[in-house]
């Protein structure tokens, strides 16, 4: 596997963009220049991240998320 990060990645195992092997390496996200630790999913080409909204849950018990638009910079932790 290369150290190139995908354009889109999700931490939810039900998502088609989930990659357990890559997430185990440790992914960091800089969003609009600030470090974000609560990112659930990101897309670099479309310029957005989904972050968890506190402790709120949807009707299926999954955490509620908010989509924020801006500059997304993923990196491997330890190299960022």
Res. 5: pLDDT tops 70: yes
**pLDDT at site 3:** 60
Rounded Cα–Cα distance for residues 30 and 37 (Å): 9
**pLDDT at site 69:** 98
Tell me which residue of 2, 36, 40 sits closest to 21, measured CA to CA. 2
Mean pLDDT of 46-71: 94
Show the tokens assigned to 20: 């357990």
Model-level pTM?
A: 0.84
Residues linked to residue 30 through DSSP beta bridges, in sequence order:
35, 73
Sheet holding 72-76, edge to edge: 34-36, 27-31, 72-76
Alpha carbons within 13 A on the beta-carbon side of 15: 14
**pLDDT at site 1:** 41
**pLDDT at site 78:** 74
């Amino acid at each position: 596997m290369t150290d190139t990060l995908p354009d889109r990645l999700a931490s939810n195992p039900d998502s088609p963009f989930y990659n357990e092997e890559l997430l185990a390496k440790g992914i960091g996200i800089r969003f609009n220049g600030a470090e974000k630790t609560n990112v659930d999913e990101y897309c670099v080409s479309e310029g957005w991240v989904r972050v968890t909204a506190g402790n709120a849950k949807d009707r299926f018990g999954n955490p509620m998320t908010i989509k924020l638009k801006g500059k997304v910079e993923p990196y491997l932790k330890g190299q960022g």
